[in-house]
Amino acid sequence: MIWIDTHCHLYSEEFKDDRHEALKRALVQDIQRIYLPAIDSESHQAMLDLEAEFPQHCFAMMGLHPCSVGDDPTQELAIVKEYWDQRDFVAVGEIGIDLYWRKDNLEQQKHAFRTQIQWAIERNKPFIIHCREAFDEVFSVLEEFQGSPLKGIFHCFSGTAEQAKRAIQFGLLLGIGGVVTYKKAGLAEVVASIPLSHIVLETDAPYLPPTPHRGKRNEPSFLLHIAEKLSETTGAPLSRIASMTTENALSLFHGEPSK
Ligand SMILES: [Zn+2]
């Protein structure tokens, strides 16, 4: 079984003492590919360095995170755009709207989100959505692009069955992470109602560790706890969870089915 962690900040400070070991622990579990979402210019270089070191296993995205939009994202967006003009990346991300940390710059967040979706469409690339307490706002921006071929991942999806349906209607996959293992979240029931063809797995490490690692730093090797929970709630064998989610991820990021 081959696994893919579609969303992991393995380049972040939290891994500075054991980054190689954390990657090795993932590889031992046959988690062979780790996709790295960008945040902002403070960490772009660390992300690119990790990708350059492990080009078979680590794949960089490029984008501006909604929590880094600030009062005026002009400069950060220009940096992202420059990277895109220089080279190719697997996806635009992570982008979106976060009204948990900050609400007063919603207009700037929407502007950055919209601008980067446009870049993804122009380049025929998928985009990775970060949405926190902002379902309506995210969907309303997506609606502006109706008629354009959208593809991407609704990262760390933790909404209702209705919201899952809407995301799928926009052409998006649902990124399922550690939250599915949290008893109180009720996400497992929602996920069980969604066909596996719309699901990819992610850890979002170092954040959101799955049970039984809650309270610790998350890492890519914990992906299997998420897969096991998914197998338990859907009744699908682990081998099918692996083959489906791996194929979904490969075809999204590279336009090719898995072998
Ligand atoms: Zn993230």
pLDDT tens-digit readout, 217-236: 999 999 999 999 999 999 99
**Contact call for residues 26 and 5 (beta carbons, < 8 A):** yes
Task: Look at residues 145, 170, 148 and name the one whose alpha carbon lies nearest to residue 157.
Answer: 170
Are β-strands 127-132 and 31-36 bridged in parallel, bridged antiparallel, or unpaired?
A: unpaired
Both structure tokens of 234: 């859907």
How close is the Cα of 243 to the center of ligand 1, in Å? 24
* Average pLDDT value for residue range 9-21: 98
Q: Output the CA 130–ligand 1 centroid distance in Å.
A: 7
Mean pLDDT computed over every residue of the chain: 96
Joined together, the tokens standing for residue 184 give 């109180």
Provide mean pLDDT across the span 245-258.
Answer: 86
Q: Which residues contact 154 (CB under 8 A, 6 or more apart)?
A: 129, 131, 167, 172, 173, 174, 175
Contact present, 63 and 94 (Cβ < 8 Å):
yes
* Amino acid 37: pLDDT: 98
Ligand 1 mean position, distance from CA 14 (Å):
13
% of the chain residues with pLDDT over 90: 96
- Whether the predicted pLDDT of 258 surpasses 50: no
Query: Which residue carries 């933790």 as its tokens?
Result: 158
Length of the chain, in residues: 259
Q: Where are the domains of the chain?
A: 3-254
Mean pLDDT throughout 131-148? 96
> Which amino acid, residue 13?
E
- Secondary structure of residue 64 in the 3-state scheme: coil
The three-state secondary structure class of 124 is coil
CATH for 3-254 is: 3.20.20.140
Judge whether 179 and 158 are in contact, CB under 8 Å.
yes
Ligand 1 centroid to residue 244 C-alpha, Å: 22
- Per-residue model confidence (pLDDT) at position 184: 79
Task: Give the distance (Å) from ligand 1 centre to CA of residue 153.
Answer: 12
C-alpha of residue 54 to centroid of ligand 1, in Å:
20
Q: What gap in Å lies between CA 174 and CA 155, rounded to an integer?
A: 6
* Distance from residue 203's CA to the centre of ligand 1 (Å): 9
* Strands 31-36 and 58-60, bridge-based pairing: parallel
Mapped onto helix, strand or coil, the DSSP state of residue 97 is strand
User: Is residue 185's pLDDT more than 90?
Assistant: no
Q: Is the pLDDT of residue 173 over 90?
A: yes
Coil/strand/helix, residue 188: helix
- The alpha carbon of 42 and the centre of ligand 1 are apart by a number of angstroms equal to 15
Output the pLDDT for position 256: 53
- The pLDDT value recorded for residue 189 is 92
Average pLDDT estimate for 108-128: 98
194-211 confidence digits (pLDDT tens): 999 999 999 999 999 999
* Interval between CA 102 and ligand 1 midpoint (Å): 17
Q: What are phi and psi for residue 126, nearest 5 degrees?
A: -75, 160
Q: How far is the CA of 12 from the centre of ligand 1 (A)?
A: 11
pTM over 0.85: yes
pLDDT in tens, 36-84: 999 999 999 999 999 999 999 999 999 999 999 999 999 999 999 999 9
- Å from CA of 93 to ligand 1 middle: 9
Rounded distance between C-alpha atoms, residue 94 and residue 190, angstroms? 24
| Ligand 1: centre distance to CA 146 (Å) | 25
* 159 DSSP 8-state letter: -
Q: Residue 197 has what pLDDT?
A: 97
Q: Which amino acid is at 22?
A: A
CA nearest to 60, candidates 81, 44, 78, 42: 44
How many Å lie between the centroid of ligand 1 and the Cα of residue 205? 8
- Give the whole-angstrom CA distance, residue 66 versus residue 190: 26
Question: Rounded to the nearest whole angstrom, what is the distance from the C-alpha of residue 65 to the centroid of ligand 1?
Answer: 8
| Residue 189 CA, ligand 1 centroid: distance in Å | 23
Cα(174)–Cα(198) distance, rounded to whole angstroms?
6
* Ligand 1 centre distance from Cα of residue 35 (Å): 10
Q: What spacing in Å lies between the alpha carbon of 30 and ligand 1's midpoint?
A: 22
The C-alpha atoms of residue 68 and residue 108 are separated, in whole angstroms, by 11
Mapped onto helix, strand or coil, the DSSP state of residue 99 is coil
